[in-house]
């Protein structure tokens, strides 16, 4: 069993309120869950208005498959959302 994980820190430059930030974060999490079947959550920076950190995970039988899916998920976030990526990390663990 292989667990592939992604961690993304991004800036939301257009968010003037915490409500706007939550709307963007919820939209990204929903897209990750719906399109890529990832488990996703906001894992840090909840108190920050301008920044968010999302973590996602996927269980599969192949490190290559898992990391390919996560790379596609990252590209979707980068292209379809009004955010500036600050950091991204993709990692797989075999159990």
Per-residue model confidence as pLDDT tens digits over 37-58: 999 999 998 888 899 999 999 9
Q: What is the pTM of this model?
A: 0.84
Give the model's pLDDT for residue 58: 94
Q: Which residues of 29-56 are buried (b: 16+ CB within 10 A; e: fewer)?
A: bebbeeebebebebeebeeeeebbbbbb
Percentage of residues of the chain with pLDDT beyond 90: 79
**Where do the structural domains in the chain lie, given as residue ranges?**
2-94
CATH number belonging to the domain at 2-94, selected among 3.30.70.1120, 2.60.40.10, 1.10.540.10, 3.40.50.300: 3.30.70.1120
* pLDDT exceeds 90 at position 6: yes
CB neighbours of 48 closer than 8 A, spacing ≥ 6?
none
């Amino acid at each position: 069993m292989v667990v592939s994980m992604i961690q993304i820190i991004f800036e939301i430059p257009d968010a003037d309120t915490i409500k706007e930030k939550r709307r963007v974060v919820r939209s990204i999490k929903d897209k990750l869950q719906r399109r890529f079947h990832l488990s996703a959550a906001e894992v840090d920076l909840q108190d920050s208005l301008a920044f968010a950190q999302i973590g996602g995970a996927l269980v599969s039988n192949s490190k290559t498959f898992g990391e390919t899916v996560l790379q596609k998920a990252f590209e979707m976030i980068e292209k379809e959302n009004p955010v500036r990526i600050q950091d991204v990390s993709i990692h797989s663990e075999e159990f």
